[in-house]
Amino acid sequence: VGLISIGPSTVFMFSEDLATKITRVPGINPKMTFINGGVPAQDLNKIHDQQAKYWVNVESRVAQAGLTNAQIQVAWVQEDDLRNTTSAFPERANMLVDEFTYLFQQLKIRYPNLQIIYLTGRHTTEYMPNDAKDKHQEPRAYYNGWAMKWLIEQQINGSNELSYKGSSPKVPLLMWGPYFWTQGSKTRDDGYEFKPDMVNEDGVHPNANGKSKVANDLLSFWQQDPISQIWFYGTGAVPPAITYFQINVGNNLLTKIDEKTISGNLKLMILKDTVVTVDQSYSHKNLEINVKNLGAGSWKYIVMDDTGIKLNGEFATDAQGNLLGGAIATTNTNVIADNSSPAWIINGKDRLSKLQRFFGDDREIKMEISDHNKKVVMSMEDVLHQHVDVNELVEPGKYCIKFYEKDGTFIDTTEVIPELVKIK
C-alpha cells in the first residue's frame, strides 16, 4: 500500500515527522510505504498543471521509495488556492470545491488504484503578524474546512463529478481526516487545540511542536478509525492490544493510561484543598499504582511523566479510602492532546511566550506556588519546557508564584507577573 501526502510546504513539514513516527507504530502493515508529497510554494493552481515542478518532485519521490504510481492507494490532501483573493462566504468555499474536484479527478488519473483521499482543512492562521500577506489570512483558512465538508457531502449526495463507484470512477472515496481548524488559541469543545507556540514567527508554518502534534494527530486518527485500520494494519489484521498503566485508590480503579504514551517515570500527586498528601514517582514498567489509606474526603490528582502533565482530575473517597460514585467516580481524565507541546497556562491563557521572552528559552526554571500563608503548595522543575496549566494545579484563590534558577537563585519576575496572582 502506497500512502502519499499531497500539498505545499506545511504538508512537507508535517510529513517529515510523520515519516519518522509511522515506522514506529506497533503492528503497522509491513507492506505499507509512506511518501512525503509536500513541496514548498506549490498551491492548488500550481499542482493543477500535471507537468509542473510539483509533479516532477513527487514522481521522483515515489520512484525513490521503490513504488510505481499504480501502487499508490491512499492519499492525505491539505491544500489551498493562494492566488484567488476573495474572502467572501460562501463564494470562496464554493470556488475551492470546484478546484479540489479537479485535483481529485487528476489524482485518480495519475494514481489509477487510489482508493481513499483523506481531507483535512487548514490550521488557523490567526497567529500571523499584522503586516503579513493576505493570501493566508483568516477567514480563508476557516473557509477551507467548509470546502472539505461540502466536497464530502456532494459525493454522498451522488455528484457525477465526484463519483467513486462503478467501473469508471472519476475520483477516489473522500473521507474526513482529523479536523484541524481552531478559533485561534481557543480550545474547541472536543478538547482540540492548536496554540501559538506550534508555529514559526510567520504564523503559518509549523515549528517542531506543531510538526510533532499534527503527525501524532494523523497517526492517532488512522489507528482508531475502523476503515483506516484495514489498510493501516493490513487486511484482516487486528490492532495491537493496548497495555494500560493503572492507578487504583482503595479497591477501585481511578484511571488508566496507555503505557506506550508514557515517557520516563510517572509522578502522582494527590492534593486535599491545597495540601499535597501524595507526591511519589514510579517506574511505569510496574504498570500499577495502589493508593491506600487516604480516608474520607474530596481530592484532586495530577499524573505527570517526563514531558509534563498526562492526566488530572478529582475524586472522592469514603472513610475506608475507597472511591465514591463508581469505579471512576468524578474523575476528569483530561488528557493533554500533545504532551510534547510546552505551555504555561493561567486562567485559560497561555503565557509561555511572555515567560520565554523574559527568561530566554534555554534556561531550566523552577516554579514555586505559595498560598496566602506563604506555604508552598506546588513546585515544578523546568517549567519552560513542560505543559503547565496553573489552574489545574491549585484550587481557586490568591497565590504567590515565584521562579528560581536551577541552582535555587530567586528571579524577580514582577515586571511580567504580578506578585500576587488570582487563580479563578
Backbone angles phi, psi at 201, to 5 degrees: -65, -25
What is the sign of the dihedral through the CA atoms of 222, 228, 229 and 235?
negative
Vertex 417 angle, CA 416 and 422, to 5°: 155
Stronger pLDDT, 79 or 366, i.e. the higher one: 79
> What is d(CA 360, CA 69) in angstroms, rounded to the nearest whole number?
48
Give, for 15, the enclosing helix (H) or strand (E).
helix 9-21
Q: What is the pLDDT of residues 46-99, one digit of tens each?
A: 999 999 999 999 999 999 999 999 999 999 999 999 998 888 999 999 999 999
Ranking 69-83, 284-298, 336-350 by mean pLDDT, the lowest is 336-350
The whole model's pTM is what? Answer: 0.58
User: Which pLDDT belongs to residue 341?
Assistant: 61
Stronger pLDDT, 245 or 55, i.e. the higher one: 55
| pLDDT confidence tier of residue 152, bands split at 50, 70 and 90 | very high
Q: Tally Cβ neighbours within 10 Å of residue 286.
A: 11
Q: Which residues pair with 399 in a beta bridge?
A: 421
Whether residue 339 is predicted with pLDDT greater than 70 in this model: the reply is: no
> What is d(CA 173, CA 304) in angstroms, rounded to the nearest whole number?
41
Cell numbers standing for residue 23:
515506522
Give the pairing of strands 343-346 and 387-389.
Answer: parallel
> What is d(CA 65, CA 378) in angstroms, rounded to the nearest whole number?
51
Q: Long-range contacts made by residues 418-421, C-beta under 8 angstroms, separation at least 24?
A: 421/346, 421/390
Q: What is the mean pLDDT of residues 386-397?
A: 77
Q: Tally Cβ neighbours within 10 Å of residue 114.
A: 23
Helix ranges, 91-182 (H):
91-110, 140-156
User: Which pLDDT belongs to residue 183?
Assistant: 92
User: Which pLDDT belongs to residue 284?
Assistant: 60
User: Which pLDDT belongs to residue 364?
Assistant: 84
Nearest Cα residue to 302 out of 283, 315, 285, 288:
315
User: What is the 3-class SS of 48-103, one letter each residue?
Assistant: HCCCCHHHHHHHHHHHHCCCCHHHEEEEEECCCCCCCCCCCCCHHHHHHHHHHHHH
Whether residue 15 is predicted with pLDDT greater than 60 in this model: the reply is: yes
Vertex 310 angle, CA 270 and 297, to 5°: 20
Whether residue 300 is predicted with pLDDT greater than 90 in this model: the reply is: no
Q: Which residues pair with 98 in a beta bridge?
A: none
Q: Are 30 and 231 in contact (CB under 8 A)?
A: no
Nearest Cα residue to 152 out of 77, 52, 48:
77
Backbone angles phi, psi at 172, to 5 degrees: -75, 175
Backbone angles phi, psi at 213, to 5 degrees: -60, -50
DSSP 358: H
Ranking 261-265, 346-350, 359-363 by mean pLDDT, the lowest is 359-363
Classify 273 as helix, strand or coil: coil
